[in-house]
Structure 1
Amino acid sequence: MVKYAKEIRNPGKCAKAAAVDLRVHFKNTYETARAIRRMNLLEAKKYLNAVIEKKRCVPFRRYNGGVGRTNQAKEFNHTQGRWPVKSCKFLLNVLDNVQANAEVI
């Protein structure tokens, strides 16, 4: 079982999911997951689908060496961003798993 760093205040309103050994780049997935942090489930899915369609970008803040600048990153008060499609698809699968776990509870 996965050990989480922080306990949830209201476990009745939350659901958990995790993925291990994914065949994606860590740095791209880190930045993508950071972008959807604190979004609700529907907002996160909508955002990731927009990234896959290249209508919105994922801002690269920490691992930004060699990342080009794009105008779409202004939305996040940043200059550098990319469209990591493979990471978005894997995170969409994790979000689907979260939704299924929430419906079971």
Structure 2
Amino acid sequence: MRYTYEPRNPAKAVRVRGSDIRVHYKNTYEVCQAIKGMGLKAAQTYLEDVMEHKQVVPFRKFCGGVGRTAQAKAFKATQGRWPTKSCKVVLGLLRQAEANADYKGVDAENMTLTHVQVNEAQRGRRRTYRAHGRIGPYMNSPANIEFIFEQDDETVEKPAESTRIVKFTKKQFAKRRLHIGN
């Protein structure tokens, strides 16, 4: 299957995908948004902390009816949860990414999660039996997940500050004169 994002350097990137996984789509979306931009090891420790209720997953998009918690202040949010099943599935994908990195010969310690995508998969259909002989839908919301990890580039030193001459236009001079004078 095609990925929706192509890494800058495919030789130093690792891709992982899970299709039709039986986890709640909305919870999984929030978990994946929380680990986006993290390193591989940092994401694993974060998700393990979430499962032990030491840290929280902030719920920002799908937050209707989600309770507030003090742990969410660390992420500049108010609402959060600890979605265990989603965390277990995402941890499995992270372990798979680590194995792919070892197989490919890429350093797993210096990998950053640059691309995350969580989509709704086809819904599962069951039925529940209601009063007066009616039958209601009993659907589930599985998810498709894809991650792309890229190896961090070498850090480049910032050049020393150069003193450059600031040039103003006539209009800028006039505005500055106004601010200073009156």
User: Scaled by the length of structure 1, what TM-score is found?
Assistant: 0.95
Return the alpha-carbon distance in structure 2 between the equivalents of residues 12 and 75 of structure 1.
35
Return the alpha-carbon distance in structure 1 between the equivalents of residues 90 and 5 of structure 2.
21
Return the alpha-carbon distance in structure 1 between the equivalents of residues 20 and 84 of structure 2.
18
Return the alpha-carbon distance in structure 1 between the equivalents of residues 95 and 4 of structure 2.
22
Unaligned runs of 5+ in 1: none
Per the TM alignment, residue 9 of structure 1 is displaced from its structure 2 partner at its CA by 0.6
Matching residue of 1:52: 51
3-state SS of 1:16 partner: strand
Matching residue of 1:23: 22
Instruction: Determine which structure has more spread, i.e. the larger CA radius of gyration.
Output: 2
Per the TM alignment, residue 5 of structure 1 is displaced from its structure 2 partner at its CA by 2.0
Query: Hey, which bits of structure 1, 4+ residues long, moved more than 2 A?
Result: none
How many aligned positions are there? 104
1:30-52 deviations in whole A, cap 9, x for unaligned? 00001001101000000000000
Matching residue of 1:87: 86
Return the alpha-carbon distance in structure 2 between the equivalents of residues 82 and 59 of structure 1.
7
Per the TM alignment, residue 23 of structure 1 is displaced from its structure 2 partner at its CA by 1.1
Name the structure with the higher strand share.
2
Name the structure with the higher helix share.
1
Return the alpha-carbon distance in structure 2 between the equivalents of residues 10 and 71 of structure 1.
40
Unaligned runs of 5+ in 2: 105-182
